[in-house]
Structure 1
Amino acid sequence: MPGAVSDVELARSLDGGFVSDHADVNGIRLHYVAGGRGEPLVLLGGWPQTWWEFHKIMPPLAERFRVIAVDLRGMGGSDRPAGGYDKKTMAGDILGLVRHLGHETVHIAGHDIGGMVAYAFAANHPAHTRRIALLDIAHPDERFYAYSLLPKPGRQQVGGDIHAGPGRFLWWFAFNQVPGLPERLLAGRSRHLIDWMCDYLIEDPRSIDEHDRNVYAHAYSTEDAIRAGNAWYRAFGQDIEDEKTYAPVTAPILGLGGGEGGHRLLQAILADKGTDVQVVEVPDSGHYIPEEQPEAVVRHLTRFLG
């Protein structure tokens, strides 16, 4: 991939003394980037990105917290095992890392797939959870089976153009379930996927620039990387069954929702997921909130985490 930059170089480019490292936990090797001083704050990213999606918020957060941005199982510089992509197991990975780093309890914030893992962490390991923030996502539940893949005709819908219709149509939830095919179609062509996702789910496409897109495209450039990322989606069925066994999370929960009513949807979903839940709208933002509105995210997280 032209212009690929290593995680070591990316970490060094951030203010706050960030360092790229690895840890052997829960039977796999996890990559993480850590810096700053204070209470530990774990950041978990999503598809199709890496820990780098937090690069705009990590330096200011490092002024108050020990920031630990993690590549999930199957992501970026972490291992890509054959299995274990259900969010309960992945939460166990994070617990192993937390203990490896010498922390007993942590704040944890997740975006996209990372938000699902963050919730599973709080649900399964409450004694190790201080506060939890979910950015534009909630843990899979039965609602996932009802998501529409086709836009209904309407005044804003012209000629079947998915971009013109109101709302988001999560076709990749189904595409990523197909074994073997996405790997063959996307290997070496992941930049096309990155550009489409960014342009479709973002308020201002310039928020994720050429350099950032190259970082993500490089991370998902091989068949094995695509297979591992898709495995997060193929585990949704197990995640939904696991979620049915969870009691409401007792740690305080903050939900940050983007535009197009994202915060209202998140509010409805999280209403019965915790005993202390607050949801805040982040205006002028699509799905990629940490990159689109980093100052707002830092402000909300700092206030919430205290």
Structure 2
Amino acid sequence: MKTLLRFFQRAALGGLALFAATVAHAANVDIQSHTANVNGVTLHYLQAGHGDGTPVVLLHGYAETSRMWQPLMRELAGRHVVIAPDLRGAGGSSKPAGGYDKKTMAQDIHALVQSLGYPKVKIVGHDIGLMVAYAYAAQYPDQVESVVLMDAFLPGVGDWTKVWLLRDLWHFHFYGETPLKLVDGRERIYFEHFWNDFAADRTHSVPEADRQFYAAQYAQPGGMRAGFEYFRNFEQDAKDFAGLAQTPLHMPMLVLSGEKAGGQFLIDQGRMVDTNVEGVIIKGSGHWLMEEAPGQTIPALVGFLDR
């Protein structure tokens, strides 16, 4: 009996040591900031990691930047090179007058990947980023090993106009001179609607330090106008995606959707565009999966991307 007890004690200590080592490794991951001039724009991107795993590209959504991916980057960095760009119009990337349809934005990311010398990637997108991720996979299927779509929707695919996130249809038409004047200096107030009302619990959503950072990033000259252009281009995206969906994808696709947000809808859309889809509902979460439910979201992502 004493021998068995000693065995379990050693096993427990070994598990704690492994956990501590993993935490320490994640804390010490070096995430570097870079810029690249590609496809007629300057893209800011974060990069970390090394290893033999296929490089992973992480694409953020609206009201956030590449910063949202740092916890996941630390988890993947021991096995993959991980690249998290700021999309055209966001964060440290340039904010041109046009090019905010998701096919063009995917071409930005593809040009960045090509400039870094990676022939094939795994690509992950949340919110607007999932639209760009799908457009990337659909335009360059031979260069994508797998794709992850996280809580939003694909314009133009199935009965997309009835999706949960479209309950606030007003903001998809909120662009132009007057809206820009209304939000000038009030960016934080505007974004609070998304961070609070798209969460399952507004008190457990995007953290305060991140809110301050994102509001300041979008308050840069041209930042709010560029963000509005993401939505203004949905009509064009719907036409483009309806055409792209005529050629189904076959690479593994993981769809993560918040129980209190997109739910089953995005999973069903995924199965309309890809023949190899795994769908996971993130229990109790709203739209902000990385912030609301990291304990479910990050392990699901790591498990899929490490396959």
Q: Where on the TM-score scale, by shorter chain, does this alignment land: which range?
A: 0.7 to 0.9
Amino acid at match of 1:251: M
- The structure 1 residue matched to 2:197, chosen from 196, 200, 203, is 200
Preserved contact between residue 105 and residue 128 of structure 1 (Cα < 8 Å): yes
Q: Is the 8 A contact 1:180 1:227 kept in 2?
A: no
The verdict on how the C-alpha distance between 1:232 and 1:121 changes in structure 2, with shifts beyond 3 A counting, is same
Matched with 1:233 is 231
Partner of 1:249: 249
The residue type equivalent to 2:229 in the other structure is A
Once the two structures are superposed, residues 44-78 of structure 1 have per-residue CA deviations (whole angstroms, 9 ceiling, x without a partner) of: 00111111122222211223321111100001100
- Note the C-alpha offset of 1:254: 0.5
In the alignment, is residue 49 of structure 1 matched against residue 47 of structure 2?
Answer: no
Partner of 1:27: 40
The one-letter amino acid of 2:91's match is G
* Counterpart position of 1:100: 115
CA distance in 1, matches of 2:136, 2:169: 27
- Aligned CA distance change for structure 1 residues 261 and 20 (closer, same or farther; 3 Å): closer
Figure out how many residues of one structure are paired with residues of the other and give that number: 276
What amino acid is aligned across from residue 206 of structure 2 in structure 1?
A: I
- Cα distance in 2 for partners of 1:167, 1:24 equals 33
Separation in 1, partners of 2:290, 2:170: 21
CA shift for structure 1 position 224: 1.3
Task: Name 2:211's counterpart in structure 1.
Answer: 213
Deviation at 1:167, TM superposition (A): 8.2
Q: Determine the structure 2 residue equivalent to 1:160.
A: none
8 Å CA contact 1:61–1:298 kept in 2: the answer is no
Map 1:140-179 onto structure 2 (within 5 A). 140-141=155-156, 146-147=161-162, 169-176=167-174, 178-179=175-176
Residues 15 and 287 of structure 1: CA distance in aligned 2, closer, same or farther (over 3 Å):
farther
Hey, which of these two has a bigger chunk of helix by percent? Answer: 2
Cα pair 1:257 1:263 within 8 Å, conserved = yes
Matched, 1:280 2:293: no
SS in structure 1 at match of 2:123: strand
Structure 1 pair 138/95, CA: closer, same or farther in 2 (3 Å)? same
Structure 1 residue aligned with 2:4:
none
Q: 1:219 to 1:243 in 2, by over 3 A?
A: same
Amino acid corresponding to residue 270 of structure 2 in structure 1: L
Q: Distance in 1 between matches of 2:152 and 2:28?
A: 28
CA contact (8 A) 1:167 1:260 kept: no
Match of 2:178 in 1: 181
Which structure has the larger Rg?
2
What is the CA–CA distance in structure 1 between the aligned matches of 2:178 and 2:79, rounded to whole Å? 44
Give the Cα separation in 2 of the matches to 1:98 and 1:261: 31
RMSD between aligned residues: 2.1
Larger displacement relative to structure 2 (108-117 or 264-273): 264-273
In 1: Cα distance, 2:78 partner to 2:110 partner: 24
Q: Runs (4+) of structure 1 moved beyond 6 Å?
A: none
Q: 2:297 maps to what in 1?
A: 297
Q: Distance in 2 between matches of 1:49 and 1:144?
A: 27
Letter in 2 for 1:64: R
Structure 1 length normalisation: TM-score?
0.84
Once residues 126 and 18 of structure 1 are traced to their aligned partners in structure 2, the CA distance between those partners, rounded to angstroms, is 28
Asked whether the 8 Å contact 2:88–2:100 carries over to 1, the reply is: yes
Using the TM superposition, give the Cα deviation of residue 124 of structure 1 relative to its aligned residue in structure 2, in angstroms: 0.4
